[in-house]
Structure 1
Amino acid sequence: MTARHRATPVPRGRHAVHHISAPTAAVQAGGLSFRCAVVSSSAVVAVAGLSISMILPAEAATLHSTSHARQTTAHVHAAAQSFTVPSTVAVDQVARDDYTATPPAVLAAAEAAKARALKVSAPDALTKAAAIAAILAAPVTVVTYSAAATAAAAGTTAATTAATPSKPGATASTSTTTTDTALSTTGVTTVTSGTVADKVAAATLDSASATADEIVAAAVKYVGVVPYVHDGADPKTGFDCSGLVMYVYAKFGIAVPHDVDGIAALGTPIAADKVQPGDLVVYPHQHIGIYIGDGYMVDAPNVGRDVEVQAVWGKPTYVHVAGA
């Protein structure tokens, strides 16, 4: 009877080892954490009380592996994150621990500036290119003088007249009148020859501001079309020299008087090597024109001539008026 109720013996020795390790070998390809769990489960059957010590390392390995994976994933996503914070947050609160954030006000200002640049720069570029093309296409007048006029063109001639004494025995007074023969019609011949493109480099105009080029372009549109008229300030009737400058500058919001010296007084004198397109070529008390570049100007010269482009003559002063 005793033999019938005897429990089946647990395999021992080499068989016991084989019995415990066999399940582990069957799932060995499943990975480290799963393999440890299987070994621990087998150990529960074989040795009571060992399950806790064996299971804890297996679960710890699994948790450690999972935690590491999560940390890696979080690190990757964090590097790609972009977010904003209120503009009231201090700088040291939005730029730390490898995170940076731009306040909304800064982002809005940057977007507004970009929008303004796109809105303004493109039309200005097109307008400037059109202005330069118009300037370069304008005809140039070549002015020649007779021998007497040529001698006087470099300076001035003084004519002295004697006044009749008002009383017997009184000394006759004299007065001196200064006349620039370059502005006279006597001994002057004009011939149209070529265009501004033959005399002024496109790079000279391109280096100027868009407004400066547009001022010059607005003036050269009257070349050969509008005649010189004393005191004229309207293209429908004619221009004199200061009337042309006043009319053209007014189109760009620059108010100047209808007077050579008055216009010059509003500006700032500049050196000849600093003059730019749109600046003024001034002959004090006599004449004024708008500088084009490379020694040429557009002006309303004198009676019998139209608005024209010609070389700067004599020894003028150069003036820059704000806004031009």
Structure 2
Amino acid sequence: MMETRLRRRQRLIFLLLSLLLLGTIVVSIGLGPASVSYDRLLPTLFGQGSFKEDFVLFSLRLPRIIITLLAGMALALSGSILQGITRNELADPGIIGINTGAGVAVAIFFLYFPVDVGSFIYGLPVAAFLGALVTAVAIYALSYDRNRGLQPIRLILTGVGFSMALSGIMVILISSTKREKVDFIAKWLAGNIWGTDWTFVYALLPWLIVLIPFTLYKANKLNLLALNEPVAIGVGVSIEKERIQLLLTAVALAASAVSVTGGISFIGLMAPHIARALVGPRHQWFLPIALLIGGWLLVLADTIGRNIAGPDGVPAGIVVALIGAPYFIYLLLKK
């Protein structure tokens, strides 16, 4: 009976969040200097718009919205996985240094590997994944105790330390390169959505097509890993094997997202928390909700950032940080 009520509640919340996301997308399309009026949106979408309307909708607005939606989903799912395998509700790929590791790899790839534009777009997520993977493995190794297993608090502290150290490496890289390349790295660090055409959608989409179903398939394993280790071992879970698989998944999701959106934190922290508050702690229930919340948060942040200041607006990463930093402090004090 309780499970039936939870399922109905989840479906209702999923529907309401889908409508909220759709409404935010419609508002986003209609705002800004280059926009499509709301009464012309449906005709343009079905091929009856003018050349200008087609260009604005299909070349400017939709690719950017889809990229922010997919990236927000990836970051939310990455944060959900990290919180599950570490049993620490403060875990987030941006806070514990995984995004910064990806950023250093992106900077090195951009500055020192002469590749053409086509190869660059598809190589960027791979470079980000390698950088994030090296960082995640180092953090995991330093947070693991042979006798007591993974130490969640140590993981957070180690991750914050790595994030600061890698930020220093990024400053060194920036200070030794040309001005035009510095501008790109600086925008990336601020969380400026720079990949804004269909090519970047095609580069990001395959990662999510594979990794989202895989994570949903592993939902029950995440439930067990979120309990204490003796319980998980008692029901036959190979803890280290599952943790490594899921850690690789979280790293790949975060790296693929930040490679095209820049350094964005706190989505992976907030979305799982809000989803758990709405439908409970079981991963089967809250992961789909967290996906929608993460996508909506980043679409909303980008829409606000594009329209509140100047011709270039405010990077989405800064808007998210203005919301996420107080939320992080609240959770820290609460826990």
Measured against the shorter chain, the TM-score band is under 0.3
**Which protein has the bigger helix share?**
2
Larger relative contact order (C-alpha < 8 A, sep ≥ 6)? Answer: 2
For the pair shown, the structure with the greater C-alpha radius of gyration is: 1
Instruction: Give TM-score, length-normalised by structure 1.
Output: 0.22
* Greater share of strand: 1
Normalising by structure 2, what TM-score?
A: 0.21
